[in-house]
Structure 1
Amino acid sequence: MTLRLADPTERDDLGAFTARVVRLDQTAAIRLTASAGRVSAWARTPFDVLVTRSVAGELDPSGAVSAHASSLLTALAVDRAEAVDTGPPAVWTDELPPVQGWERVDDVPADELDGLADRGLALAREHAGPMGPPASLLDQTVLTVSPQSAGRPVTVPMRVLFAMSGMGFLGAGPDGGDAGGPRVRVSAAGSWVRLDARYGAVVRRRIVSLPLIGAT
């Protein structure tokens, strides 16, 4: 599969995203999907959270491909060929979220999320075991975002902020935010929640508790 990017800036953006993925997990795979002149890169982080970045470009032939992140990084950052060979296919088993149906819940100051992530990292270093931070810390709800109109609030667990921090997304929210600083957009679609910052997004399926059906 061949990847063609619109210009060097788009190539560098995808290269920076891929480098961060490799830094978190050298064995990671990246899923590339193409639509309407844009290529979206997806990766799973060690925090059990998906991260994504969209750049202008196309895949030839069109469709989707899974690549080894380390091989893709070499092609983007070292080979510098105009047409990027995505290399041998990698195994990808994760479900991707829907493309349509996202509803904005609210915008959150990036500095607020950055501070929460820093405090979480301090706790993780204090309580980490042989397998890393405990699941109880990763799954702890650290932020609840309520829509301005009627709707269900969205909870954000610590693992989402760890992924954002590890990918370098925090501190740079979408353009056009308030004068007080960059903001991160929180959106929801069905059982999925998404946090968009300037340099990428973090996506995770929410765990919805099912009602218990009692015996009659």
Structure 2
Amino acid sequence: MAETLAVHPPALRDLGILARRAAGLDGTALLRVRPRAGEPAGLARVFVTTPFGPLGCRSIAAAPGRESMVVRADAVAAAAEAAAAAGPDPGGGPVTLDCGAAADASWPGALPPETGFELIDVVPAPVLLDLDEKARAVTRDTPTPLGPPASLLDQEVLEVADGDRGLRAGVRVREILALTRLGFIPAEPPAGEPVRVSARGRWTRLDGRFGTVFSRAGFDVIAL
């Protein structure tokens, strides 16, 4: 039986973009939809896997056919494109997408906690785009058939800190590539465009204008 996802028409474009970008990065990328606790009915967190490790996430007005369903991102992208081409429901109700077979067993691990993240610092988006470009340059100079080498992805290229609370965290190339390749910050952001860096235990999150990246391994909050 195919998994279904009911999407409010204004959110269809955002869902399609997220699924298409995830599938473009990795043809086997997965998408997971989970209703948000404590939020109005119909609003869900939509997660996607990336080949860099971190998860991408957007809040979208959608309701899965069952709790926390997992499907392939390319199937969702195709369904969203077909629904957009067909036009809106004359009745104005949600659009039901056929998202293909369930893929729960392939999901790589736990989801991040919904609450409890502490803001550490705000980084200008142009700084992250500059670091992204430097990582791309290294990849062009040393290409591999499997994409960026792990040694590059694991490099900690930025440190953020809150001295008043004695907290600091390191941002790796993995998090930056996930944030920029999923299009979660503008391609040409203004100088003051913020990216918020928050953490809870071993989980961290980078919040851009258009979405959030969550990462768990190697991104700890450490007391100074």
Normalising by structure 2, what TM-score? 0.83
Specify the SS of the correspondent of 1:153. strand
Question: Alpha-carbon deviation of 1:59?
Answer: 2.5
Q: 1:60 to 1:131 in 2, by over 3 A?
A: closer
Matched, 1:118 2:133: yes
May I ask how many residue pairs the two structures share in their alignment?
A: 203
- 1:49-91 deviation per Cα after TM superposition (whole angstroms, max 9, x unaligned): 2111111232234x21001111111111113472123321013
Q: Give the match for residue 30 of structure 1.
A: 31
- Distance in 1 (CA, whole Å) between partners of 2:4 and 2:147 is 37
Say yes or no: does 1:188 pair with 2:199: yes
Residues 27, 208 of structure 1: alpha-carbon distance in 2 compared, 3 angstrom cutoff: closer
C-alpha distance after superposition, 1:144-179 (max 9, x if no partner): 010253132010001111112211123379xxxxx8
Q: Percent identity?
A: 37
Q: Which runs of 5+ in 2 are unaligned?
A: 87-94
Alpha-carbon distance in structure 1 between the residues aligned to 2:172 and 2:56:
15
Q: 2:217 matched to 1:202?
A: no
Matched, 1:39 2:44: yes
RMSD, aligned CA: 2.2
Q: Which residue of 2 is the match for residue 64 of structure 1?
A: 68
Matched to 1:86, the amino acid is C
For 2:78, which of 74, 79, 103 is the aligned residue? 74
Q: Is residue 84 from structure 1 mapped to residue 100 from structure 2 by the alignment?
A: no
Rate the CA distance shift 1:208–1:79 in 2: closer, same or farther, 3 A.
closer
Unaligned stretches of 5+ residues in structure 1: 174-178, 210-216
Q: CA deviation at 1:199?
A: 1.2
Q: Separation in 1 of the partners of 2:146 and 2:56?
A: 22
CA separation in 2, counterparts of 1:20 and 1:46? 12
**What CA deviation, in whole Å up to 9, does each residue of 1:28-53 have, x standing for no partner?**
11111112331111122111121111
* 1:130 counterpart = 2:135: no
Structure 2: how far apart are the matches of 1:18 and 1:158?
A: 22
Specify the SS of the correspondent of 1:168. coil
Kept in 2: contact 1:111–1:171 (CA 8 A): no
| SS of residue matched to 2:79 | helix
Of 128-137 and 196-205, more deviation after overlay is shown by: 128-137
Q: Distance in 2 between matches of 1:140 and 1:21?
A: 23
Contact 1:106-1:146 at 8 Å conserved across structures? yes
SS at match of 1:100: coil
Using a 3 Å threshold, how does the CA distance of structure 1 residues 27 and 16 change in structure 2: closer, same or farther?
same
Distance in 1 (alpha carbons) for counterparts of 2:22 and 2:31: 9
> Would you identify which runs of 4 or more consecutive aligned residues in structure 1 move more than 3 Å?
none
The residue type paired with residue 103 of structure 1 is E
Task: Give the partner amino acid of 1:3.
Answer: L
Give the aligned residue type for 2:148: P
